[in-house]
Structure 1
Amino acid sequence: MENNANLKRSERRKHKRKNENNSTIRNILKFLGYAILILIFIGVGVIGGKVWAIIKNTPPISQEALTAQSQSSIVYAKDSNGQWQRVAILHGADNRLWVPIEKIPKDLQNAFVAIEDQRFYKNNLGIDPKRIIGALIADIKAGGKPVQGASTITQQLIKNTMLSNEKTLTRKIQEAVLAWRLEQKYTKEQILEAYLNTIYLGGPNVNAYGVQAAALAYFGKDVSQLDLAESAMIAGITNNPSLYSPYANLEAATQRQHLVLKEMLEQGYITKEQYDKAIAEKLVFKKTNFTTYEHKYFIDQVINDVADELSKKLNISHDEAINKIYNGGLRIYSTMDLKIQNYVEEAFKNPELFPMNSKIKDEVQGAMVVMDWRTGEVKGLVGGRDTSNIVRGFNRATQAYRQPGSSIKPLTVYGPALESGLTAATVVDDVPTTFGNWTPHNYESSTYRGLVTLREALTHSLNIPAVKVVDRIGIATSANYGKKFGLDITKNDMYLPALALGGLYKGVTPLQEAAAYGAIANGGVYTTPITFTKVTDSEGNLILENKPLRHVVLSEQNAYILMNMMQDVVKYGTGTRARIPNMPVAGKTGTTDNYSNAWFSGFTPYYVATVWMGYDNNSISLYDTRTGTKVVGGSYPAQLWKTVMLQIHKDLPYKDFVRPSGIISATVCRDSGELPTDLCHLDPRGDRTYTEIFAQGTQPTTYCTVHVMVKINSQNGKLATDLTPPDLVKEAVFIDPPGRTPAQNAVALDGKYVVPKEYDDIVPPPQNSTNGNAPGDNTQPPPANNGGTEQPPGGETTNPPPNNGNSQTTPPSNNFPPTTNPTP
């Protein structure tokens, strides 16, 4: 019993010790449990706090963040039907063209949804848990390699527009948060539109962001024109552009396209018939070159002009304005007429329209501008014969300043002369004349026509009359009108050779000259040339509206008279090669004295155009070895002008220049510019009268005194005296040019028609005197009959007046050597 009792006590002690041990273990486990639980809570708290901090620092959703991506700009021009056509895409690092969802084909929308996020329309969480789990399982099966993406379309949009591509927990959490927020704020259509306009769809040598740029890059068409097969091809690219771009690997791209079509079929987006047709379709790829564009000279000028206006409007630098053009998604509406632009470009490809000098390596360059003179809109512009794809290069139409030669005469000579009170009938004596230490010469340096009207002087591009006119109206007046016509007249141009003959210090550009001539066509109103009409953002909101500035240069009547004079240049003068059938043309030639620049500028009732030819090296003269002649403005430039303008006008109805009110006609003497007398009809050269037009009030009111009738000895042509045998005396009509010297008369073409200055020295045989005087006592000749005088009664002097500040004849010391004798 005792043993049993001891056993029981022993067992009780063992059991007690066991219970004590179990209690200790439980306590330890309990402690550990609490500790772990505490640690878990601490961990969750720490992680939660960190996650909360990440969420708290997530940027807010904004429409600007989604849509203000770098976007390419588009330049538009009108085609022959007056419809706007895209002519250039301008982009920076990212070539992205935003289009609204309405313009994106439904097949293309469905293709992306089918291959990228098939639960897009059903899931509003922004993330897809089912897809995440599926992607995780697929990655595990692949040995841990990422083989399937889990990002929704919404997540991809967030990553592309608001977050970086770094693979961090912070970015992933923020992406999920933003995707959820985006789903709550915007519709599925808005999200899909933003996604389709931002997704990268390029590949090797292809810069394409968004479906519009991709449609152009791969198929050369607008996204709205894509069919099902093309849509599936583009949708397949996004998974791996470097692999699935058809320009990278057409076989892989085609396999991917078939997968997209299969998914669309299984998801009910297309029928089996549509699927089969798309699978069988042979795609035709047409790559659009986004690094350059056609019509580069015109578009380059558009870019410069838009940048200038943006700089002023937004108060930014020119470089910042250029950056906005290439990245701001602008829509630029140019003034280019594609039909006219193509005519000019085709003409510049024809070597027969340019001189060729086989002895010189350099190629003759050229430039041409065509404008609508009513609106100032430039319709065609080419700045060189370059056929390279270099853009933003040297544009000779707008950047090459060259001396204009005689093409300046309507602008600084005859236009100002009419405004100063001279008329088309005003007569100037074309004879050798020295101004200070300078003696100008005509193109035909040994030919002097004598008395000519301003109309004749302009028609035949005579230099001496032009210089005399500027000397007469004043250098300041001439320069002022040149500025009004848009020319860069500087202080270095305030002398006769520059203003009368075009030897300008800086020169003019073809665009400047075209605009200046346009003012004559436009009734004397100068209109600044423009190359674009407006600029909008990608949504059509107006940013710039470009309206040309206008100011009056000439009266409407004087502009019409000048235009009428310039028509004679083309009809009878130096510009006959510019004639076009069934359309009136007014124009003027120009050539510098070293033949380094040749011009023709002219206009019709529809358009004004300027052609310039020369070498980039201004010291090289224009010479054509095919014809063996030097090149002048009336040769190749006039022919090129005609070639282009013939094409432009071939379908236009005949139209004449509109004659304004206040224009009258009067018959005048062409040797005096005054009303004719009977003597003007009896000139030995024939009737010297003609009908001229005048601005009302400027027509002559006095009668011709240049034509005189005198008695001469018919045998020797000298003035008859009382001693001239009566049977040798006859009356004859001559001209008596005011102020002309014998030396000048000796070289003038009309010199032989000038009244003789010598008296008859024939002495009659002795006869019986009836009055007691010895024969021959009356030896002093009487004055010539009928008003004839030995010395002219006055009139224009051929010697320049003393320098009064308006008659400077020598160039400033800091000027280039003047071009003293430009040719027609």
Structure 2
Amino acid sequence: MDNNANLKRSERKRHKEKGKNKSTARSILKFIIYAVIILVFAGMGAIGGKVLAIIKNTPPISQEALTAQSQSSIVYAKDSNGQWQRVAILHGADNRLWVPIEKIPKDLQNAFVAIEDQRFYKNNLGIDPIRIIGALIADIKAGGKPVEGASTITQQLVKNTMLSSEKTLTRKIQEAVLAWRLEQKYTKEQILEAYLNTIYLGGPNVNAYGVQAAALAYFGKDVSQLDLAECAMIAGITNNPSLYSPYANLEAATERQHLVLKEMLKQGYITKEQYDKAIAEKLVFKKTNFTTYDHKYFIDQVINDVADELSKKLDISHDEAINKIYNGGLRIYSTMDSRIQNYIEEAFKNPELFPMNSKIKDEVQGAMVVMDWRTGEVKGLVGGRDTSNIVRGFNRATQAYRQPGSSIKPLTVYGPALETGLTAATVVDDVPTTFGNWTPHNYESSTYRGLVTLREALTHSLNIPAVKVVDRVGIATSANYGKKFGLDITKNDMYLPALALGGLYKGVTPLQEAAAYGAIANGGVYTTPITFTKVTDSEGNLILENKPLRHVVLSEQNAYILTSMMQDVVKYGTGTRARLPNMPVAGKTGTTDNYSNAWFSGFTPYYVATVWMGYDNNSISLYDTRTGTRVVGGSYPAQLWKTVMLQIHKDLPYKDFVRPPGIISVTVCKDSGELPTDLCHLDPRGDRTYTEIFVQGTQPTTYCTVHVTAKINSQNGKLATALTPPDLVKDAVFIDPPGRTPEQNAVAADGKYVVPTQYDDTTSILPGNNEPNNAPNTPSDVVPPPSNNGTTQLPPAGEPTTPTNNNGSTPQNPNNEVQSPTNPIPPTNGNKNP
């Protein structure tokens, strides 16, 4: 019984322990379940918190974020019809040209939507759940390999403009958030416009962001000009530019194009007829070169000028301004006339228009600038003969400072002379003259013309008269006018050789000289040369307006007289090779001492132009082995100038330089610059009078004192004496240059016309005396020049006489006033006027 009791007790105890074990197991399982649930919710909370943090840190969206991408800039110029045309595209790392949605063909918009996001117009979530699921299924079927994209157009826009390219969960979440936000804030047209302007469409050796750059890169045309087939080709590139670029793989690109067209047909964007036509079209590809541009010298200067103005207006560095030009989507409107620019470039390709020295390896370089002198707008500019694709190189038209030689004379010699009271008829003596320890020489160093007017001195580019004029008007005055003409006159130029003969320390550029000559053409008003008129952003908002500065250098009247003097340079002087058959030309040549620089600058009633030639090595002299001559400004530079200007003016009507009020014409003596007397007409060289123009009030009021008359022995030309045989005595007209020395007279071209200083020593037989008269020749024996009545009067014995000028023969009116020079009554010495 005890055993049974014990057994029962043992069974009861086992049952009790078993129940207790079951309860413990249930508790443990329950705990595990609760723990898992808690952990799941905790994990979800943590993940949710992290997601919320990512969303919170998502950058905001703005219009600027969409459009602030690097954009290429465009330079425009007017064509022969006066229409703006694109002449250069400037870009940095990304070549992107923004165009508004209105200018993007509807076929191109539909092509992108059809192939990239067919539910674009229906889905406003920014992401496409249906497409995501479809992409996952496609990827699974492909064994986990991604074969189909799921990004909407809005998502692609976000990736292209707002986020980095890293593939992380954070970026994926922010992409979805931003895409949704974009859809809520902007219209479909705004989103599509931003997308089409930022999508990469390049490929091997093609840098193209956006549909405009792509249209130019593949078809050489504006995006607005694309047809359906071309639109489909560009839209097909998007999926994989390196594969589907027609330049990389035309066959693959064509298959992709056909797929785009098929989707457009399927989705109802085009008809079957349009589809068939587009499929059958044979595309013609034309690549636009984005790494360089035509007219590089002109465009390079435009870039520099725009950068200068941007840096000033925006208070940024020059380098920052250059970066803005290449990446800021600017629209730059240049002053270039494409027709004129092409004329210059064609001329520079012609080797016959440049000297050639077969003994020197280096090529003769050159530069030319053509400018509208009324507006200051540069119409054409070439800075060298380099035809390579190198851009932003050395531009000799604006960066090569060279000594101008005699081409400086209108600016620092004759312009200031007219302004300070001298006239075109003012006479200077072209004879050897020393200034301190310096003796200047003419181009033909052994030739001296003697008395010349300022007009003649400029016409024949005489150096000595130029130096005398600067010495007369003053170095400071000459330098001041040079500065007014836009030249870089430095303290090292404050001496006669620099200002009179163009030996400037720094030199001038062709652009500077063209602008300076333009001031003469423009009635004495200097206008700052400009290469662009305005700059806008890609939407047309004005950023820069470039209005040239102006200031007066010469009076309108003196500018006209200087123009007239410079016309004679081309008609009769050193610049005859620049003559135009159909248009008046005023100009001046320039050649430096060692023949290392040769210039011609001139203007017409329409344009001003400057040509420079020389070597980049300034120590090499210009020499042409074809002709065996040294090169001067009046040779090749003048001929090149004429060649270009003939083309420019061929269709322009003839017109003359406008004569301003206040100009009068007066007949003067060219040897004195004064009103003529009878003697001026009787000069042995012929009539020495001519008609000159003057500013009213500056015309001469006194009569010529340079021409004189004296009796000479007709056989030896010496002054006659009382012993000169009467039948040999002859009345003769001479000149008497004031202040000229016998040494100067000996080398002057007009020296033989100067009144003699030696008396006749001829032995004669006096009446009533059979013995020769060998009496010494003394002043008392001299026969004087004619008196006022034209007869010779012998002086009383012992009264010396010397040759006299006609000064004493000038008749005075009853009031002892000189007759009006506008209608002068010349004096008479008893001879008839010729």
Q: TM-score range by the shorter chain?
A: over 0.9
Displacement, 1:810? 45
Unaligned runs of 5+ in 1: none
**Per-residue deviation, residues 83-134 of structure 1 (Å, max 9, x unmatched):** 1111111111111100000001111111111111111100000001111111
Report if aligned partners of 2:677, 2:827 keep a CA contact under 8 Å in 1.
Answer: no
Matched residue of 1:730: which SS?
strand
Displacement, 1:319? 0.6
Displacement, 1:778? 6.4
**Per-residue deviation, residues 253-286 of structure 1 (Å, max 9, x unmatched):** 1111111111111111111111111111111111
CA distance in 2, matches of 1:241, 1:679: 92
Report if aligned partners of 2:127, 2:176 keep a CA contact under 8 Å in 1.
Answer: yes
Counterpart in the other structure of 2:794 = 791
Counterpart in the other structure of 2:811 = none
- The change in CA–CA distance for 1:507 and 1:810 in structure 2 (over 3 A counts) is farther
**More displaced 10-residue stretch of structure 1: 364-373 or 592-601:** 592-601
CA distance in 2, matches of 1:32, 1:822: 144
Matched residue of 2:3: which SS?
helix
Displacement, 1:433? 1.1
- The change in CA–CA distance for 1:507 and 1:377 in structure 2 (over 3 A counts) is same
Displacement, 1:715? 2.6
**Per-residue deviation, residues 372-430 of structure 1 (Å, max 9, x unmatched):** 00000000000000010000000000000111111111001110100010000001111
- The change in CA–CA distance for 1:754 and 1:389 in structure 2 (over 3 A counts) is same
Report if aligned partners of 1:592, 1:823 keep a CA contact under 8 Å in 2.
Answer: no
- The change in CA–CA distance for 1:158 and 1:799 in structure 2 (over 3 A counts) is farther
CA distance in 1, matches of 2:791, 2:300: 66
CA distance in 2, matches of 1:792, 1:514: 63
1:31-70 to 2 correspondence within 5 Å?
31-70=31-70
CA distance in 2, matches of 1:635, 1:32: 106
Matched residue of 2:583: which SS?
coil
- The change in CA–CA distance for 1:13 and 1:263 in structure 2 (over 3 A counts) is farther
CA distance in 2, matches of 1:64, 1:799: 96
Matched residue of 1:5: which SS?
helix
Displacement, 1:13? 9.2
- The change in CA–CA distance for 1:326 and 1:786 in structure 2 (over 3 A counts) is farther
- The change in CA–CA distance for 1:314 and 1:790 in structure 2 (over 3 A counts) is farther
CA distance in 2, matches of 1:685, 1:42: 121
Report if aligned partners of 2:72, 2:90 keep a CA contact under 8 Å in 1.
Answer: yes
Matched residue of 1:340: which SS?
helix
Matched residue of 2:332: which SS?
strand
Counterpart in the other structure of 1:381 = 381
- The change in CA–CA distance for 1:391 and 1:792 in structure 2 (over 3 A counts) is farther
Displacement, 1:635? 0.8
Displacement, 1:725? 3.1
- The change in CA–CA distance for 1:639 and 1:796 in structure 2 (over 3 A counts) is farther
Report if aligned partners of 1:593, 1:819 keep a CA contact under 8 Å in 2.
Answer: no
Report if aligned partners of 1:442, 1:823 keep a CA contact under 8 Å in 2.
Answer: no
CA distance in 1, matches of 2:710, 2:256: 105
Displacement, 1:220? 0.6
- The change in CA–CA distance for 1:183 and 1:375 in structure 2 (over 3 A counts) is same
**More displaced 10-residue stretch of structure 1: 606-615 or 800-809:** 800-809
Report if aligned partners of 1:722, 1:782 keep a CA contact under 8 Å in 2.
Answer: no
Report if aligned partners of 2:706, 2:805 keep a CA contact under 8 Å in 1.
Answer: no
Matched residue of 1:732: which SS?
strand
- The change in CA–CA distance for 1:134 and 1:568 in structure 2 (over 3 A counts) is same
**Per-residue deviation, residues 161-211 of structure 1 (Å, max 9, x unmatched):** 110011100000011011101100000000000000001111111111111
For the aligned residues, what is the CA RMSD? 8.2
Displacement, 1:675? 0.3
- The change in CA–CA distance for 1:232 and 1:92 in structure 2 (over 3 A counts) is same
- The change in CA–CA distance for 1:779 and 1:431 in structure 2 (over 3 A counts) is closer
**More displaced 10-residue stretch of structure 1: 365-374 or 147-156:** 147-156
CA distance in 2, matches of 1:819, 1:372: 51
Displacement, 1:794? 29
Report if aligned partners of 2:675, 2:821 keep a CA contact under 8 Å in 1.
Answer: no
CA distance in 2, matches of 1:796, 1:567: 52
Displacement, 1:487? 0.6
Counterpart in the other structure of 1:780 = 783
Report if aligned partners of 1:433, 1:799 keep a CA contact under 8 Å in 2.
Answer: no
**More displaced 10-residue stretch of structure 1: 377-386 or 682-691:** 682-691
**Per-residue deviation, residues 198-245 of structure 1 (Å, max 9, x unmatched):** 011111111111111111111111111111111111111111111111
Report if aligned partners of 1:403, 1:503 keep a CA contact under 8 Å in 2.
Answer: yes
CA distance in 2, matches of 1:804, 1:33: 138
Report if aligned partners of 2:819, 2:825 keep a CA contact under 8 Å in 1.
Answer: no
Matched residue of 1:804: which SS?
helix
Report if aligned partners of 1:575, 1:638 keep a CA contact under 8 Å in 2.
Answer: yes
CA distance in 2, matches of 1:399, 1:618: 14
CA distance in 2, matches of 1:639, 1:798: 57
Report if aligned partners of 2:710, 2:803 keep a CA contact under 8 Å in 1.
Answer: no
CA distance in 2, matches of 1:29, 1:228: 69
Report if aligned partners of 2:784, 2:793 keep a CA contact under 8 Å in 1.
Answer: no
- The change in CA–CA distance for 1:573 and 1:217 in structure 2 (over 3 A counts) is same
- The change in CA–CA distance for 1:159 and 1:367 in structure 2 (over 3 A counts) is same
**Per-residue deviation, residues 631-681 of structure 1 (Å, max 9, x unmatched):** 111111111000000000001111111000010000000000000011111
- The change in CA–CA distance for 1:142 and 1:769 in structure 2 (over 3 A counts) is closer
- The change in CA–CA distance for 1:744 and 1:32 in structure 2 (over 3 A counts) is same
**More displaced 10-residue stretch of structure 1: 435-444 or 47-56:** 435-444
**Per-residue deviation, residues 581-639 of structure 1 (Å, max 9, x unmatched):** 12100000111121111110000000000000111111111111111111111111111
Counterpart in the other structure of 2:366 = 366
**More displaced 10-residue stretch of structure 1: 166-175 or 247-256:** 247-256
1:641-660 to 2 correspondence within 5 Å?
641-660=641-660
Report if aligned partners of 1:434, 1:799 keep a CA contact under 8 Å in 2.
Answer: no
CA distance in 1, matches of 2:359, 2:551: 47
Matched residue of 2:121: which SS?
coil
Report if aligned partners of 2:569, 2:575 keep a CA contact under 8 Å in 1.
Answer: yes
Displacement, 1:768? 11
**More displaced 10-residue stretch of structure 1: 684-693 or 786-795:** 786-795
**More displaced 10-residue stretch of structure 1: 389-398 or 786-795:** 786-795
**More displaced 10-residue stretch of structure 1: 742-751 or 44-53:** 742-751
CA distance in 2, matches of 1:795, 1:312: 85
Give the total of aligned pairs.
822
Displacement, 1:716? 2.1
CA distance in 1, matches of 2:825, 2:348: 32
- The change in CA–CA distance for 1:741 and 1:282 in structure 2 (over 3 A counts) is same
- The change in CA–CA distance for 1:13 and 1:121 in structure 2 (over 3 A counts) is farther
CA distance in 2, matches of 1:590, 1:122: 74
Report if aligned partners of 1:484, 1:553 keep a CA contact under 8 Å in 2.
Answer: yes
- The change in CA–CA distance for 1:281 and 1:19 in structure 2 (over 3 A counts) is farther
Report if aligned partners of 2:613, 2:637 keep a CA contact under 8 Å in 1.
Answer: yes
- The change in CA–CA distance for 1:792 and 1:595 in structure 2 (over 3 A counts) is farther
Displacement, 1:14? 8.9
**More displaced 10-residue stretch of structure 1: 786-795 or 688-697:** 786-795
CA distance in 2, matches of 1:121, 1:351: 62
**Per-residue deviation, residues 532-584 of structure 1 (Å, max 9, x unmatched):** 00111111111110011111000000000000000011111111110111210
- The change in CA–CA distance for 1:779 and 1:631 in structure 2 (over 3 A counts) is closer
- The change in CA–CA distance for 1:779 and 1:616 in structure 2 (over 3 A counts) is closer
Matched residue of 1:571: which SS?
helix
Report if aligned partners of 1:406, 1:822 keep a CA contact under 8 Å in 2.
Answer: no
- The change in CA–CA distance for 1:92 and 1:82 in structure 2 (over 3 A counts) is same
Report if aligned partners of 1:448, 1:749 keep a CA contact under 8 Å in 2.
Answer: yes
Percentage identity across paired residues of the two chains = 90
Displacement, 1:24? 4.4
CA distance in 2, matches of 1:571, 1:678: 29
- The change in CA–CA distance for 1:222 and 1:797 in structure 2 (over 3 A counts) is farther
Displacement, 1:719? 1.4
**More displaced 10-residue stretch of structure 1: 270-279 or 19-28:** 19-28
Counterpart in the other structure of 2:524 = 524
Displacement, 1:291? 0.6
Displacement, 1:728? 2.4
- The change in CA–CA distance for 1:627 and 1:819 in structure 2 (over 3 A counts) is farther
Report if aligned partners of 1:335, 1:533 keep a CA contact under 8 Å in 2.
Answer: yes
CA distance in 1, matches of 2:87, 2:59: 39
CA distance in 2, matches of 1:614, 1:29: 101
- The change in CA–CA distance for 1:44 and 1:467 in structure 2 (over 3 A counts) is same
